[in-house]
Structure 1
Amino acid sequence: MNLKTILMAVMANVIVLSTTLVSSSIAHASGDHADEQEEHHEEEKGPNNGRLLTQGEFSLELVLFERGVAPEFRVYANFKHEQVAPQAVDLSIRLTRLGNVVDTISFSPQSDHLKGDAVIYEPHSFVVDVQARFKGKQYEWHFETFEGRTEISNAMALNMGVTTLRVGPQTLRQTLPVYGKLVLAPNSERHISARYPGEVKALNVQLGQSVKQGQHLLTIESNDSLQSYKVFAPISGMVSMQNIALGEQTGSANLLTISNSQTLIAELNVYPLDQDKIKPAAKVLIRPSNSTEQISTEITDALMAVNAQQAKVYRAKVSNVDGKLSVGQFIKADITVNTFTVDKAVKTSALQSFRDFTVAYEKVGEQYEVRMLTLGRKAGEWVEVLSGIKTGSEYVTGNSYLIKADIDKAGAAHDH
């Protein structure tokens, strides 16, 4: 068993233990005298399937109602097993969420229940403090109901490779994926021929050899004057074609070709439906085939005619000073078609599923909890966040699936 497997096993035991401890709902009630307190280790249910809070002959049924409306609390009161008019009860509830975020809820009487004045937003994970007054007597309950939450020590998270970032503004780039190939840049090739036809007396280069501008390439003896003259390299580059050998007659044919590949051109195929998206000088990120390297450049121009596949060919310069790229090499590229800044964004690596929601995991201290996100536009590794997590919140980006696995194993129930 390797170190990572051992760490994962230890982590699972720690998480199951910690989640078991924090997810046990402990309810207790207190009246005017401390000795009247009683604890409920198992949640009792009322006739409306809500949590039943009882002290003596007085009880409240706390229902999280969300059928056809945004989630809200509805409370039904009973005394001596008889329903109490909601006007007879003064009630308030305080919810303390992760990070000591407190929501205070006031209640108003309805036909047969008390209705809370605030939306109980997701996740429904909090410490609950209930205060009620009935017939001049004060009642209090305190219990915990957690979901989508787990606890991992910072040392364990570090060993697991869990990494985090802060939610904040981000500039997003929407891109168009395209394919193409690398070709020589214009004016980067020279063809060498004999000014005066004759016999090759000296040949100082060969196919594939690098040469510098002004370098002596060959010596030719003119057939007419029998005088010898030298031919020099007009540019620096590589001998990419050789069509002559020592002692041969030159005639009027091309003898050598020198090609300079320090700058190449990426020819990118853009099909008709996408051609209107391409803007002048658009940024391009090129990925050569069989390489993990990424090269940043921009569109310089486009060819006049479409190719055989009816694609318009857009061109971008690519530096090849190190000689790692080759003429004819296939490439993939992403052309930027839109750039915009959003107030909040998270990395797509942070996203996981929880019930019917897309979530990220906020980190507070050594605790992690789901945040239900409403998402907007996506661009590359980033996605806009419209709601669900606050700017500045620390959230999990790397190995977020491990947090999901721990929460799923804990199996915290959703309180309806």
Structure 2
Amino acid sequence: MKNLRSKGLILAMHLALLPLVSTPAHAVENAEAVYEEVEKGPNNGRMLRQGNFAIELAIYEDGVPPEFRVWASQSGQPISPDNVKVDVVLDRLGDVKDNIGFYQQEDYLRGDMAIYEPHSFAVKLNAEFQGKEYTWSYDNFEGRVVINDEIAKASGIKTEKAGPANIRKTISAYGQLISPIENTRTISARFDGLVRKVHVNLGDDVKKGMPLLTVESDKSLNSYTIYAPISGVVTNRNINTGEQTKGKELLRIVDKKSLAAELFVFPENRSKIQLGNPVSLVIEGVAAPIEGQIDYISPEMDGLEGVAIRVSIKNQSGSLSPGAMVKGTVTTNIHEVPLSVKRDGIQAFRDFQVVYAKVGTTYEVRMLELGEQAGEWAEVRGGLEPGTEYVTSSSYVIKADIDKSGASHDH
């Protein structure tokens, strides 16, 4: 009775620790089966028993890609592998089935294909020995959790399908808005004299060809008119009617319809930029970024600030002003990749970088072989099928559920 109570206590503790989301219903109903499933053999494999016949099934990955190996025994005595036939079917998430045959090697049977990650599947093993057939089925899930759609939505979990993307490599640059010198005109009198009339005031908008000043020449005593050489805004006025010009600057006109972002690129990034590179500008006081491209690169370094670049900006509304601070994101390279995932969806699992594939209400890890990463995208070179629906937002919620369950696979 004492042994039975002890065994019952162990079973109760084991069941209490099983993760609810990944435990099949039949496992809860058959506690004795759960207890037997975790028995390990001398090769650290899972022991499967029927009567006095037993199979030890192990995933072996010491110096080779993961593979199944099988040892058979009867009444505790090894059976020569050439006397046993074995095949295994792995039923993976998404109705993917792996059919594995076995061949003799030394004192064991060796699987004829690699067991790729994740090692998460329902296992069915068929064996034949001395004309009798044996079958075992069990679940070997890892990195898997079930979350209904309502809870997933409330948790902020969002998904997309894996596919191609443009990997953009970028660098940052900082500076301010300026009015390029070519947009500014300084107005002086060609012939010094008396200003008979000033036709504009500070801040006035003027059109090219509009009269600005009427001046009476000191030499000829004839009056002449100075016209606006460009359209723009009068930003400086240093003369009044009745004053002498005396060779000084009288007015300044600035065309504010076009400005430039003057940015500085760190010296170590100089080799990465070239004319025409796209630039996204975030301007102080402006909600939406403004897109442009590099149209000037200074041939000289400007001390510790680096290399000056310029991006021309249209300012038809006149809402932008010189002096505003600007952050620029310069795209230095665009590389199209055939398969990618969003970097926000990537999490760590064991020694892998993973995303969580979604099939119905089930989420499961997919171990990734990653390539280039930049911006919001990461190139996928292996571990994920194109078109797979995967988690892009709040993937940490699924990671937390899986980590909490502590589910592991056979090794």
Identity, % of aligned positions:
44
Map 1:240-259; keep pairs closer than 5 Å. Answer: 240-259=235-254
Q: Is the 8 A contact 1:26 1:41 kept in 2?
A: no
Moved more, 264-273 or 117-126: 264-273
Other structure's SS at 1:107 match: strand
Within 2, Cα distance between the matches of 1:354 and 1:152? 19
What is the CA deviation profile of residues 264-292 of structure 1, one whole-angstrom value per residue up to 9, with x for unaligned ones? 22333344443333334222222324555
Which residue in 1 is equivalent to 2:308? 313
Aligned partner of residue 315 in structure 1, secondary structure: strand
Aligned-pair distance for 1:361?
1.0
Q: Establish whether residue 155 from structure 1 lines up as the match of residue 157 from structure 2.
A: no
Structure 1 segment 215-226 matched on structure 2, within 5 A: 215-220=210-215
Query: For 2:93 and 2:284, how far apart are their aligned partners in 1?
Result: 48
Provide the C-alpha distance between the structure 2 equivalents of 1:289 and 1:409, rounded to a whole number of angstroms: 45
Letter in 2 for 1:178: A
Instruction: Provide the rounded CA distance (Å) in 2 between the counterparts of 1:38 and 1:129.
Output: 19
The amino acid across from 2:348 in the alignment is S
My pick for the range that moved more, 102-111 or 155-164, is 155-164
Say which is worse superposed, 167-176 or 275-284, in terms of deviation: 275-284
Contact kept? 2:173, 2:266, Cα under 8 Å:
no
Q: Does 1:22 align with 2:15?
A: no
The alignment covers a number of residue pairs equal to: 393
**1:111 equivalenced with 2:102 (yes/no):** no
Provide the C-alpha distance between the structure 1 equivalents of 2:230 and 2:195, rounded to a whole number of angstroms.
21
Of stretches 343-352 and 216-225 in structure 1, the one that deviates more from structure 2 is 216-225
When normalised by structure 2's length, the TM-score is 0.86
What TM-score, normalized by structure 1, do the two folds share? 0.85
The offset of 1:356, in angstroms, is 1.4
Whether contact under 8 Å (1:178, 1:334) holds in the other structure is: yes
Point out the more displaced range, 188-197 or 46-55: 188-197
Structure 1 residue 41 and structure 2 residue 34: aligned? yes
Partner of 1:34: none
Equivalent residue letter for 2:309: Y
What is the CA distance between 1:39 and its match in structure 2?
Answer: 6.0
Tell me what 2:261 maps to: 266
Equivalent residue of 1:341, what SS? strand
Q: CA deviation at 1:68?
A: 2.3
State the match for 1:340 in structure 2.
Answer: 335
Question: d(CA) in 2 for partners of 1:333 and 1:293?
Answer: 13
Determine which of 178, 187, 193 is the counterpart of 2:182. Answer: 187
Contact 2:343/2:377 (<8 A) preserved: yes
Structure 1 range deviating more: 168-177 or 213-222? 213-222
- Residue 145 of structure 1 aligns with an amino acid whose one-letter code is N
Paired AA for residue 285 in structure 1: S
Task: Supply the distance in 2 between the matched residues of 1:399 and 1:216 (Cα, whole angstroms).
Answer: 64
Q: Is the 8 A contact 2:356 2:390 kept in 1?
A: yes
Alignment of 1:3-402 (within 5 A): 20-23=20-23, 40-42=33-35, 43-200=38-195, 202-220=197-215, 230-289=225-284, 291-309=286-304, 311-402=306-397
Shift in Å, 1:140: 0.5
- Following superposition, the deviation at residue 224 of structure 1 comes to 5.9
Q: What's the offset of the Cα at 1:216?
A: 4.4
Distance in 2 of aligned mates of 1:337 and 1:39: 62
Partner of 2:13: none
Shift of 1:242: 2.3
Change (3 A) 1:117 1:144: same
Q: Is the 8 A contact 1:270 1:312 kept in 2?
A: yes
Gaps of 5+ in 2: 1-15
Kept in 1: contact 2:267–2:301 (CA 8 A): no
| Deviation, structure 1 residue 95 | 0.5
Are residues 348 and 254 of structure 1, via their aligned partners in 2, closer, same or farther at CA, if it must alter by over 3 Å? same
Alignment check: 8 A CA contact 2:172 2:265 kept:
no
Whole-Å separation in 1 of the counterparts to 2:73 and 2:285: 73
Distance in 2 of aligned mates of 1:374 and 1:111:
34
- Return the alpha-carbon distance in structure 1 between the equivalents of residues 63 and 277 of structure 2: 48
Q: CA deviation at 1:413?
A: 2.0
**1:296 CA displacement:** 2.1
**Alignment-mate amino acid for residue 413 of structure 1:** S
CA distance in structure 2 between the partners assigned to 1:292 and 1:118 by the alignment: 56
- The match for 2:8 is none
Q: Partners in 1 of 2:344 and 2:256 — Cα distance? A: 39
